[in-house]
């Protein structure tokens, strides 16, 4: 492909141009210069026939040699320029074959800012996205396998011990088996929620709803959990930040995941603050909680699937790391966006939703 395209461009751009120039010069010599030479010969009383023939022969010979030299020079210069311009395309062709084999690490060298350079940059961005998606896919498969392996191993060990008579078939043993089974059930439910969040864009029942009402509804649901850890909940709901355009059920799910995270990761006697405000992008909701903070290196990844900032935390306490990924999918399906910030005292997770064009009174 490389040679065919290169030679097509060389022949197509060089040979016709040189040929046209040669024909024009040849015609000009024969029709104009030769006639002018004949007039001069007659003016000085010289036989023009032999002189005319010798003049044309010499001019044609030098014209042919000059044309060949010009053609060779044009081919060389055009070859170098065309090869430089087409190098990103050749690299794309080779890298595409590597991508087809599962290698996403190769990139195209951007050597210009023209259309070919823009194409090379777009190709590199696509390769970056594919590499990231492939890395997330591998991580997700590994994490799912790990999530499933632990409870299954525990179930298998308990049942084998019961079968061998090592441990009795007591209420405590069945409680352990039930807990491990519930871990599997919760993981499957989380995966189902994540799958539904991925497909949320096509199934949104958008309507104008009260954001404040939905926030109060979820917090009321978690009041027993907050009271158990003696966590104080503070409200900072600005006027004019109540109405949003959203799917009620999916918004409730996103809020519930944020409140659940705040409850789990806030120490006893801590504080959770829920605030809303109107911004240029819509209505912003912030769920903040007092905790030890999230490491700066971990903060950009907290919305990734199966990511947990505290790797040492038990899966029973910290979950599978899907909650914030679900929030991100649901909010972005509404045309909003999410974010987080953290310091040594507070962690703030926020999302922004579009506000109605004509808010309800």
User: Does residue 3 carry a pLDDT above 60?
Assistant: no
Which run of H or E residues covers position 211? helix 211-221
Q: Both 135 and 220 in a single domain?
A: no
Residue 131 and residue 129: Cα distance in Å, rounded? 5
SS3 state of residue 343: coil
Residue where a domain terminates, one of 144, 170, 196: 196
Q: What angle do CA 22, 23, 29 make, to 5 degrees?
A: 90
Cβ–Cβ < 8 Å for 336, 352: yes
Q: Report pLDDT digits (tens) over 166-179.
A: 778 788 778 878 87
Domains in the chain, number: 3
Residues 338 and 233 in one domain: yes
Q: Is 117 within a domain?
A: no
Q: Tens digit of pLDDT for each residue in 229-273?
A: 999 999 999 998 889 988 888 899 889 889 988 888 888 888 999
Q: Give yes or no: residues 252 and 342 share one domain.
A: yes
Longest dimension (CA), the chain: 135
For residues 150 and 226, membership in a common domain is answered with: no
CATH code at position 136: 1.10.287.130
Neighbouring residues of 69: CB distance < 8 A, sequence distance ≥ 6: none
Supply the range of the domain harboring residue 67. 2-103
DSSP per-residue letters across 286-323: EEEEESS---TTTGGGTTSTT--S-TTS-HHHH--S-H
DSSP 32: I
Domain boundary among 196, 227, 244: 196
pLDDT exceeds cutoff 80 at 287 = yes
Question: pLDDT tens digit string along 308-334?
Answer: 555 444 444 445 567 788 888 889 888
**pLDDT tens profile 89-143:** 777 878 888 877 778 788 887 777 767 777 888 888 888 888 877 777 777 677 6
46: region left, alpha or beta (phi > 0 left; psi from -120 to 50 alpha): beta
Would 361 be classed as within a structural domain? no
Whether 168 and 95 map to the same domain: the answer is no
Residue 161 and residue 210: Cα distance in Å, rounded? 54
pLDDT above 80 for 50: no
Asked if residue 307 and residue 175 are part of one domain, the reply reads no
Mean pLDDT of the chain: 76
Mean pLDDT of 26-52: 63
| Among candidate residues 326, 324, 322, the one with its CA nearest the CA of residue 347 | 324
**Is residue 198 scored above 80 in pLDDT?**
no
pTM for the predicted model, two decimal places = 0.56
pLDDT digits (tens, 9 = 90+) for 213-240: 999 999 999 998 899 999 999 999 999 8
Q: Is residue 41 part of a domain?
A: yes
Q: Which residues, 6+ apart, have CB-to-CB distance to 327 below 8 Å?
A: 254, 257, 258, 303, 338, 349, 351
- Whether 273 maps to a domain, the answer reads yes
Assess whether pLDDT exceeds 90 at residue 73.
Answer: no
């Amino acid at each position: 492909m490389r040679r065919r395209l290169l030679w097509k461009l060389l022949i197509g751009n060089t040979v016709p141009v040189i040929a046209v120039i040669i024909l024009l010069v040849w015609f000009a010599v024969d029709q104009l210069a030769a006639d002018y030479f004949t007039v001069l010969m007659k003016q000085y009383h010289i036989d023009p026939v032999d002189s005319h023939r010798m003049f044309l022969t010499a001019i044609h010979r030098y014209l042919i040699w000059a044309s060949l030299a010009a053609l060779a020079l044009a081919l060389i210069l055009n070859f170098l320029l065309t090869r430089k311009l087409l190098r990103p395309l050749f690299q794309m062709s080779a890298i595409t074959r590597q991508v087809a084999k599962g290698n996403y690490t190769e990139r195209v060298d951007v050597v210009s800012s023209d259309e070919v350079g823009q194409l090379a940059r777009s190709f590199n961005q696509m390769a970056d996205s594919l590499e990231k998606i492939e890395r997330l896919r591998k991580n997700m498969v590994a994490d799912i396998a790990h999530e499933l392996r632990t409870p299954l191993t525990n179930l298998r060990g308990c049942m084998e011990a019961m079968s061998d008579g090592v441990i009795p078939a007591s209420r405590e043993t069945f409680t352990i088996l039930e807990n491990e089974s519930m871990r599997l059930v919760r993981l499957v439910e989380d995966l189902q929620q994540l799958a539904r969040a991925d497909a949320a864009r096509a199934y949104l029942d958008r309507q104008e709803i009260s954001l404040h009402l939905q926030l109060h509804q979820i917090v009321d649901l978690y009041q027993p959990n907050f009271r158990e850890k003696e966590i104080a909940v503070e409200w900072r709901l600005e006027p004019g930040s109540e109405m949003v355009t959203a799917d009620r059920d999916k918004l409730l799910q996103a809020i519930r995941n944020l409140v659940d995270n705040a409850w789990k990761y806030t120490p006893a006697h801590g504080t959770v603050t829920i605030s809303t405000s109107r911004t240029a992008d819509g209505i912003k909701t912030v769920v903040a909680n007092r905790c030890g903070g999230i490491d700066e290196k971990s903060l950009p990844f907290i919305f990734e699937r199966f990511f947990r900032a505290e790797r040492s935390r038990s899966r029973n306490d910290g979950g599978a790391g899907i909650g914030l990924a679900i929030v991100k999918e649901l909010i972005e399906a509404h045309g909003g966006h999410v974010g987080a910030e953290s310091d040594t005292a507070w962690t703030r997770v926020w999302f922004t939703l579009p506000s109605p064009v004509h808010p309800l009174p």
